[in-house]
Structure 1
Amino acid sequence: MYVYIIDDDDAVRESTQLLLESTDLSEIIKTFPSGDDFFSADLLGTTGCVLLDIRMPGMNGVDVLKKIKAEKSNLTVVMISGHGDIPKAVETMKEGAYSFIEKPFSDIDIINVVTEALSVSQTSHEQAELRQKAEATISKLTPREKEVLDKLVEGLLNKVIAYELGISTRTVEVHRARIMEKLEVKSLPEMVRLYFLAGTGDATLAPV
């Protein structure tokens, strides 16, 4: 987990870094004077929080935010705004920013928002890992097993699935058992959660 500070203002970068170094985040802080410098460091695959100034020469904060989101990074972005940038900061939340903080910010406010953002990023990272695992697991199924799984998720009974696929109910039962074995689940609810996690990310693998 990292905290990345991207701000062209040397004083803001240094003071924010010193503040965060007074907490237990001291070993994971990196600073950058521009978005280009940040992207050159190739850090989008990491997990953590980005403190991102809105107004910067060249690539501004909104451009940096959009690029981070376009790359589907698990980094959580907090915008740093001056008073005149508040409307723009609010607008960035529609682009995927987690929050924004207004200059001059208090010590407790910046520590709190960074702590929250790190927690969000960690959760996002864990969900991404679960999704990848779910996709890999689903890929083990044969085309016919995938057809049966699709029907099961629709909530159809075995006999209805058999009719629609032109196979026997016993064959559906066999496929269902193999599907559960391959997916390493013990119940239909677990199967459904895994299915949607792999497909849309709307479900979790919480125990039933």
Structure 2
Amino acid sequence: MPDIQPLVFIVDDDVSVRESLELLILQEGWQPETFGTADDFLKRPPPVVPSCLILDVSLPGISGLDLQGRIAKERLEMPIIFITGHGDIPMSVRAMKAGAVEFLTKPFTNEALVTAVKQSLERSRTALSEQEVLRELRGNYSSLSPRERDVMALVVAGLLNKQVGAELGITEITVKAHRGRVMQKMNAASLADLVKIATKLGLRLPTA
């Protein structure tokens, strides 16, 4: 996504902090969006471009740490950088364990924040790319017939065509035909590829 301008969200109840960070983000060539509360931020639909969140720990209403808990599992493509004026070790440990990229205590240098944003946006690009691959795989899998899904499950579990046929009550020739269509629809060049695809899809497979 080289031509898409990344978004950097800033959530801080201090307007002077928001304005200074907004200027810094603009100077780096990124697109800032600022919010005074977590509630305001949550009303904004998730973006479909590389993004990250610069988040103050202490906010009115929903705190920064609570906001992290709400979005961390749903928005893996949006890394979080915490900023705070009065952080402590337990607070920073909690934030980092929950997946924060950085925990910066005010006053911090522009260089430290810019470095953290660069790392976050790179992580976001990777996550979005992986999500796109997964969407494509799910689409391919949905195109399989029920029988083709049965064959795929048994094949990746390690059964030979003859064994698959015995398991499903069909001939080995029919298994080969289904298997060929599965490989084509799933864009798998080999059995190893098909196993990797099944793993990415999180399919629950029978034991050989």
**What TM-score, normalized to structure 1?**
0.86
User: Structure 1, unaligned stretches of length 5 or more?
Assistant: 201-208
RMSD: 1.9
Secondary structure at the residue paired with 1:43? coil
121-130 vs 10-19, greater mean Cα deviation: 10-19
State the number of aligned residues. 198
Task: Choose which of 48, 51, 57 in structure 1 pairs with 2:51.
Answer: 48
Aligned to 1:19: 24
What's the CA shift for 1:46? 5.1
Aligned to 2:80: 77
What's the CA shift for 1:158? 1.7
Task: Choose which of 10, 15, 25 in structure 2 pairs with 1:10.
Answer: 15
State the distance in 1 between where 2:13 and 2:20 align. 13
Q: Which amino acid aligns with 1:37?
A: D
State the distance in 2 between where 1:105 and 1:190 align. 46
Show CA shifts across 1:133-182 (max 9, x none). Answer: 11111011111111110111112222222222222222211111111122
Q: Check conservation: 1:4, 1:51, Cα contact below 8 A.
A: yes
Q: Which amino acid aligns with 1:77?
A: I
What's the CA shift for 1:70? 4.6
State the distance in 2 between where 1:165 and 1:37 align. 54
What's the CA shift for 1:44? 5.4
Stretches (4+) displaced over 4 A? none
| Percent identity (aligned) | 37
Pick closer, same or farther for the CA change 1:36–1:46 going to 2, 3 Å: farther
Task: Choose which of 136, 140, 143 in structure 2 pairs with 1:140.
Answer: 143
**What TM-score, normalized to structure 2?**
0.86
State the distance in 2 between where 1:84 and 1:98 align. 15
State the distance in 1 between where 2:61 and 2:50 align. 25
Q: Which amino acid aligns with 1:3?
A: V
Show CA shifts across 1:92-117 (max 9, x none). Answer: 23333233222211111100000000
Task: Choose which of 174, 177, 182 in structure 2 pairs with 1:174.
Answer: 177
83-92 vs 106-115, greater mean Cα deviation: 83-92
State the distance in 1 between where 2:59 and 2:16 align. 14
User: Structure 2, unaligned stretches of length 5 or more?
Assistant: 1-5, 204-208
